[in-house]
């Protein structure tokens, strides 16, 4: 089957009123970026559809890239047909004959966006369906409206008539960078990269923040986080990682905060440092990989005590998800294997034996009131190192870097 174009349906996007134009521009950018290795493609958009003009490029490898693009509800490889019922009938018949798979049943579904077309939906369904049936009498092809092997879609639009028998599900969500910027607290664990991915799916631009505590945590554990960020960069185009030295703060906490509250204070300090970086980077939210009740720091009481230190919205995409759901998502996005590498986390190294699962705000505030954290927080922010990860791709044996 030779297709002329790929037709892209936006789904949720189409209802976004005034912002729609900006959304479409961003989606177009994502589509162009995702398919940039195929030379000769052209991307065009109208109010409610986007089209990739294939110019003889095979649609299959292109569609493998498109299924990963956020903001696409579904898409179809389409044939362009003249706006004339006989031409549509002929094209439909050619389509059925050219199928590489056996079909026993089919139906025709017409969408008539162009109301000037002289026939209505039913008339077109009957005319096209009848024509296909008539020429397939010898092989017993039948119509099945409920569950056909082939749903032949005829879309009559102002600019042309599109014919397809295939609808491919897209990744859904919203186009990258269409919903503002947030920072992602990225540990080396399983959860936070998944949380970052979910946030990107909703159109957020993200920058990562990672806390590390040398010499208690090694270069290897830092590398692990960079590797995770690299996987995220494959979707985002690039990724900025802020690496925060956290040893000094952790040592002070260990020495001066009662052991059962050290975890709560550690998290509160992390959040304060993350908050400063978030503001510096003009981001408006902090994303974490927390899931309710998973560990002591993620009970509702803990979150209540930890969250006190900031007014910045904290987004927790995984909050209601079970661990095995998160694990299978990590597998799907390709971060699980990296997350499973053994490593020392700056939190696990200092984790007390019995962290409080029901810490109290008044108590933690009282313990912290004896320490001047301000200077320590400022120093951690100042000494934060930035690593920019660019998506890498192999082009004729050598690795090329490019930015979204």
| Footprint on this chain of ligand ATP (rule: CB under 6 A) | 185-187, 189-192, 209-211, 288-290, 294-295, 297-298, 345-347
Residue 67 contact partner, candidates Mg ion, ligand ATP, none, CB within 5 to 8 A by sort of partner: none
Which residue's CB atom is positioned nearest to ligand ATP? 189
Residue 264 contact partner, candidates ligand ATP, Mg ion, none, CB within 5 to 8 A by sort of partner: none
Smallest distance from Mg ion to CB 187, Å: 4
Smallest distance from ligand ATP to CB 308, Å: 16
Smallest distance from Mg ion to CB 345, Å: 5
Smallest distance from ligand ATP to CB 273, Å: 10
Residues facing 164 on adjacent strands: 153
What token pair was written down for 31? 């589509």
What token pair was written down for 134? 């008539």
What token pair was written down for 401? 């870097």
Q: How far apart are CA 403 and CA 240, in angstroms?
A: 12
Smallest distance from ligand ATP to CB 194, Å: 8
Smallest distance from ligand ATP to CB 157, Å: 45
Residue 4 contact partner, candidates ligand ATP, Mg ion, none, CB within 5 to 8 A by sort of partner: none
Helix 323-333 / helix 191-201 crossing angle, nearest 10 deg: 70
Residue 204 contact partner, candidates ligand ATP, Mg ion, none, CB within 5 to 8 A by sort of partner: none
Contact 75, 8 (CB under 8 A): yes
Residues that bind Mg ion (CB under 5 A): 187, 189
Neighbours of 252 (CB within 10 A): 16
Residue 288 contact partner, candidates ligand ATP, Mg ion, none, CB within 5 to 8 A by sort of partner: ligand ATP
Residues in contact with 91: Cβ distance below 8 Å, sequence separation at least 6, in sequence order = 79, 81, 163
In the complex with ligand ATP, which residue's Cβ is closer, 155 or 207?
A: 207
In the complex with ligand ATP, which residue's Cβ is closer, 108 or 346?
A: 346
Q: How far apart are CA 158 and CA 335, in angstroms?
A: 44
Question: What distance lies between CA 19 and its chain's CA centroid?
Answer: 20
Residue 210 contact partner, candidates ligand ATP, Mg ion, none, CB within 5 to 8 A by sort of partner: ligand ATP
In the complex with ligand ATP, which residue's Cβ is closer, 226 or 347?
A: 347
Maximum CA pair distance of the chain? 90
Question: What distance lies between CA 233 and its chain's CA centroid?
Answer: 11
In the complex with Mg ion, which residue's Cβ is closer, 31 or 329?
A: 329
Residue 155 contact partner, candidates Mg ion, ligand ATP, none, CB within 5 to 8 A by sort of partner: none
In the complex with ligand ATP, which residue's Cβ is closer, 155 or 345?
A: 345
In the complex with ligand ATP, which residue's Cβ is closer, 49 or 210?
A: 210
Q: How far apart are CA 116 and CA 99, in angstroms?
A: 31
What are the start-end ranges of the H helices in 202-299?
219-236, 247-256, 259-280
Smallest distance from ligand ATP to CB 282, Å: 20
In the complex with ligand ATP, which residue's Cβ is closer, 27 or 185?
A: 185
In the complex with ligand ATP, which residue's Cβ is closer, 178 or 250?
A: 250
Smallest distance from ligand ATP to CB 199, Å: 11
Helix (H, G, I), strand (E, B) or coil at 344: coil
Q: How far apart are CA 397 and CA 393, in angstroms?
A: 10
Using CA atoms, how far residue 119 sits from 114, 128, 156, in Å, is 11, 12, 11
């Amino acid at each position: 089957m030779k297709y002329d174009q790929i037709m892209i349906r936006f789904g949720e996007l189409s209802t976004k009123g005034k912002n729609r134009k900006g959304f479409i521009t961003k989606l177009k950018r994502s589509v162009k970026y995702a398919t940039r290795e195929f030379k000769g493609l052209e991307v065009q958009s109208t109010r409610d559809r986007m089209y990739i003009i294939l110019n003889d490029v095979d649609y299959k490898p292109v569609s493998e890239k498109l299924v990963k693009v956020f903001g696409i509800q579904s898409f179809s490889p389409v044939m362009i047909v003249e706006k004339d019922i006989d031409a549509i009938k002929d094209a439909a018949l050619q389509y059925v004959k050219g199928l590489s798979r056996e079909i026993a049943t089919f139906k025709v579904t017409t969408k008539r966006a162009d109301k000037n077309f002289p026939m209505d939906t039913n008339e077109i369904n009957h005319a096209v369906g009848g024509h296909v049936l008539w020429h397939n009498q010898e092989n017993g092809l039948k119509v099945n409206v409920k569950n056909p092997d082939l749903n032949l879609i005829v879309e009559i639009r102002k600019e042309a008539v599109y014919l397809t028998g295939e609808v491919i599900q897209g990744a859904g969500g919203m186009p990258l960078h269409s919903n503002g910027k947030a920072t992602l607290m990225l540990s080396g664990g399983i959860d936070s990269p998944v949380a970052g991915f979910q946030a990107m799916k909703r159109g957020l631009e993200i920058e990562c923040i990672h806390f590390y505590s040398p010499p208690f945590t090694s270069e290897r554990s830092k590398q692990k986080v960079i590797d995770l960020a690299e996987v995220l960069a494959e979707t985002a185009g690039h990724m900025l990682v802020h690496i925060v030295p956290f040893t000094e703060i952790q040592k002070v906490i260990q020495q001066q905060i009662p052991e059962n509250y050290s975890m709560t204070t550690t998290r509160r300090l992390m959040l304060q440092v993350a908050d400063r970086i978030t503001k510096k980077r003009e981001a408006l939210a902090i994303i974490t990989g927390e899931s309710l009740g998973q560990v002591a720091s993620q009970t509702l009481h803990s979150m209540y005590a930890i969250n006190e230190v900031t007014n910045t919205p904290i987004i927790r995409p995984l909050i209601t998800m079970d661990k095995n759901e998160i694990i299978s998502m990590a597998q799907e996005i390709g971060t699980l294997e990296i997350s499973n590498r053994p490593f020392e986390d700056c939190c696990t190294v200092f984790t007390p034996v019995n962290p409080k699962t029901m810490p109290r705000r008044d108590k933690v505030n009282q313990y912290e009131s004896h320490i001047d954290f301000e200077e320590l927080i400022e120093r951690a922010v100042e000494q934060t190192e930035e690593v920019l990860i660019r998506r890498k791709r192999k082009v004729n044996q050598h690795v090329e870097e490019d930015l979204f």
